[in-house]
Amino acid sequence: MRPPKNKVSPPGRIKIVRALKQLLAQKDFNSITTAEIAKTAGVTEGLIYKYFNDKRDLLYKVLLELFEMFLQKMKKDLSGIEGALNKLRKIIQFSLYWYDRQRVFTRILLIEARNSPDFYKSDAYQKCVREYSKIIIDIINEGIENGEIQKNIKPSVIRQVIQGSIEHACLPAIIFDRKISPKSIADDLCSTIFMGIKDDQFIKSQSSDGKEKSSSSRRANPEERVVVNLRRNDKG
């Protein structure tokens, strides 16, 4: 049996979605009219209502498309990474990078959609936001099971702290059109959050492993011993 073909969106629908993305890069959602969307897309205004319930439904479909891309790329980046804390670090880094590069996505998510009750019924929230949260929760539970993360903190609380920190770090830059520094912000967030959630035994094991590696490195370096012996012979 042949696998089902991917559903292809009609050209008019693609043009409408693309037009709203283009307009959102220039102005806020409330100032954009359906007539302006239609003109930018090169279609009739009535065609918008053939594919979307209203302007806000179109907004959520744009967010859904961008969020699906976000999740796909994030999962690819996570593949092959060992350790729960390393995975959480990658999620924080990638999220900050995406929020900075995909300003339309970030503006919709943090400003245009968040305060609207119907957003929480949309596919963008029910499918993508929930999947994003579940990925983080699953990694946190993995960290608790393997001893990296404390057991006495609720996974849902850790997840809220991570997602909330990312969003609050980006929000001023989105509102005032400022540059985001993903790497430096990620380093600060990881240092702060991980210090609070790391399991004490895990911290001790990391510390002892570091000391053992340093000690064994010194003992196992024959070149250093040769140099020391040569210096001693020179003095003699």
Q: What is the pLDDT of residues 95-139, one digit of tens each?
A: 999 999 999 999 999 999 998 999 999 999 999 999 999 999 999
What digits encode the pLDDT tens for the residues 179-209? 999 999 999 999 999 999 998 887 777 776 6
Q: What is the pLDDT of residue 225?
A: 42
pLDDT band with cut points at 50, 70 and 90 for residue 165: very high
Residue 149's DSSP bridge partners are 198
pLDDT band, residue 232 (cuts 50/70/90):
very low
Domain ranges of the chain: 8-52, 56-200
Fold adopted by 56-200 = Tetracycline Repressor; domain 2 (1.10.357)
pLDDT bracket for residue 220 (50, 70, 90): very low
pLDDT at position 213 is 55
What's the CA gap between 16 and 219, in Å, rounded? 67
- pLDDT score for 111: 95
Nearest to 85 by CA among 131, 140, 31, 127: 140
Question: 130-145 and 55-78 are packed helices; what angle lies between their axes, rounded to 10 degrees?
Answer: 30
Predicted pLDDT of residue 98? 97
Average pLDDT over residues 63-77: 98
pLDDT of residue 180: 93
User: Which of 3.40.50.720, 3.40.50.300, 1.10.10.60, 1.10.287.3510 is the CATH number of 8-52?
Assistant: 1.10.10.60
Which pLDDT band, with edges at 50, 70 and 90, does 6 fall under? low
**Backbone phi, then psi, for 149, in 5-degree steps?**
-120, 140
Q: What is the mean pLDDT of the chain?
A: 88
